[in-house]
Amino acid sequence: MRQREEIPRDSLIYVAGHQGLVGSAIWRRLSDAGCERLVGFSSRDVDLRERSAVDQLFREIKPDIVIDAAARVGGILANASEPADFLEDNLRIQVNVLSAAQRFGVQRLLFLGSSCIYPKFAAQPIREDSLMTGALEPTNDAYAVAKIAGIMQVQALRRQYGVRYISAMPTNLYGPGDNFSPTKSHVLPALIRRIHEAKNTNAETVTIWGTGTPRREFLFVDDLADALVFLLEHYDSPEPINVGVGIDVTIRELAETIADVVGWNGNLVFDETKPDGTPRKLLDVSRLNELGWRASTSIQVGIKLTYDWFLSNQSKMRGK
């Protein structure tokens, strides 16, 4: 582990995407650490897809540190049905934010990628050096290509300008502030909503896409936020670094855990005519562990915290 370089608590930190699942968790973590000069803007205030708007933002606020958690995100259905939008929007956001950061003198930046950047059949657990060694999962390849481009932009800016920009690749995320939309959410919040509704309507079954056998790793979003602050203080390398828990579960096991937390005793039905996606996606987090960071929230505890938030925020949550 290199010597810790603490984030100056008087730094002006711009959190792009601060109202999203990840951005809001980062905001909470930085606030808890005593960082008081945090800035963030909604998409209504600043459209990060527009270069002139992003340039004007950086010109006005002059941030010391940027955390780029802004992205167009969605589950398997949204990615498969809107690939052009996912590719174009994410490319534009990344290019605009990273380019403006360099041109307006930001020396420290963290770019947030995704574990979907790795090949569909990468050796498990997936090491960082698996990047671009095989074909991507077709259901989210457009989003993955955009995120790969973001990693390359970080590396290119480091080489050309000497800036201290880094990339972190989180596994599947969940937690307070998630998107529970019936059509655009990821698997874990989607299952929480559907199983909750099954309980409320006394439904005997819940149908789930696929066979239930694919294995997925899930990281509680507040653990991710803690890891990202840790990386800003301990990591300075062009190579992307994985962020996860190092443990995975099957989709069936995930649904059973959610049903137990929700208190629903019906039957899970798996529609094998629908796609499974990648058979397994578990990140190798040994590099992060060696630096001194490990996730602390179990999936059972994380799901309980997420469900509690869901129950308290149904009237105002995204995707209602």
Q: Where are the domains of the chain?
A: 13-311
Tokens 């099954």 belong to 198
Question: In which band, very low, low, confident or very high, does the pLDDT at 1 lie, cut at 50, 70 and 90?
Answer: very low
Q: Is 91 annotated as a binding residue?
A: no
Question: In which band, very low, low, confident or very high, does the pLDDT at 318 lie, cut at 50, 70 and 90?
Answer: low
Residue 77's pLDDT is 72
Copy the structure tokens of residue 197: 């509704």
Strands in 164-170's sheet, in edge-to-edge order, are 38-39, 13-16, 65-68, 108-112, 164-170, 241-243
State pLDDT tens for residues 162-181: 999 999 999 999 999 998 98
Residue 189 has pLDDT above 80, yes or no: yes
Average pLDDT taken over every residue of the chain: 94
Burial label for 151, CB within 10 Å (0-12, 13-18, 19+), is: buried
The dihedral sign for the CA sequence 24, 27, 29, 32: negative
Q: Is 143 marked active-site?
A: yes
State pLDDT tens for residues 79-116: 778 889 999 999 999 999 999 999 999 999 999 999 99
Q: How far apart are CA 184 and CA 132, in angstroms?
A: 27
Q: Which of 172, 299, 168, 283 is nearest to 230 (CA)?
A: 168
Q: Is 171 annotated as a binding residue?
A: yes
Q: Which residues contact 97 (CB under 8 A, 6 or more apart)?
A: 16, 48, 54, 66, 68, 70
Q: Is 252 annotated as a binding residue?
A: no
Question: In which band, very low, low, confident or very high, does the pLDDT at 2 lie, cut at 50, 70 and 90?
Answer: low
**Rounded mean pLDDT of 141-153?**
97
Q: Is 23 annotated as a binding residue?
A: yes
Give residue 175's region: left, alpha or beta (phi > 0; psi -120 to 50). left
Q: Is 114 annotated as a binding residue?
A: yes
Q: Is 170 annotated as a binding residue?
A: yes
Tokens 């370089």 belong to 5
Q: Is 66 annotated as a binding residue?
A: no
Catalytic residue among 14, 118, 143, 174: 143
Task: Say which range, 135-139, 288-292, 304-308, 314-318, has the weakest mean pLDDT.
Answer: 314-318
Residue 140's pLDDT is 86
CB contact at 8 A, 123 and 282: no
**What percent of the chain shows pLDDT beyond 90?**
84
Residue 23 has pLDDT above 50, yes or no: yes
Chain Cα centroid distance, residue 252: 22
Q: How far apart are CA 30 and CA 7, in angstroms?
A: 10
Q: Is 216 annotated as a binding residue?
A: yes
Question: In which band, very low, low, confident or very high, does the pLDDT at 317 lie, cut at 50, 70 and 90?
Answer: low
State pLDDT tens for residues 245-303: 999 999 999 999 999 999 999 999 999 999 887 788 899 999 999 999 999 999 999 99
Q: Is 134 annotated as a binding residue?
A: no
Question: Which CATH number is correct for 13-311, 1.10.3720.10, 1.10.10.10, 3.40.50.720, 3.30.413.10?
Answer: 3.40.50.720
C-beta contacts of 98-103 below 8 A and 24+ residues apart: 98/68, 98/150, 98/153, 98/154, 98/157, 98/165, 99/51, 99/153, 100/51, 100/54, 100/55, 100/57, 100/58, 101/58, 101/63, 101/66, 101/163, 101/165, 102/157, 102/161, 102/163, 103/55, 103/58
Tokens 């002139």 belong to 52
Burial 152-172 (b: 16+ CB within 10 A, else e): ebbbebbeeeebbbbbbbbbb
**What are the residues facing 220 on neighbouring strands?**
174
**pTM tops 0.85, yes or no:** yes
End-to-end CA distance of the chain: 44
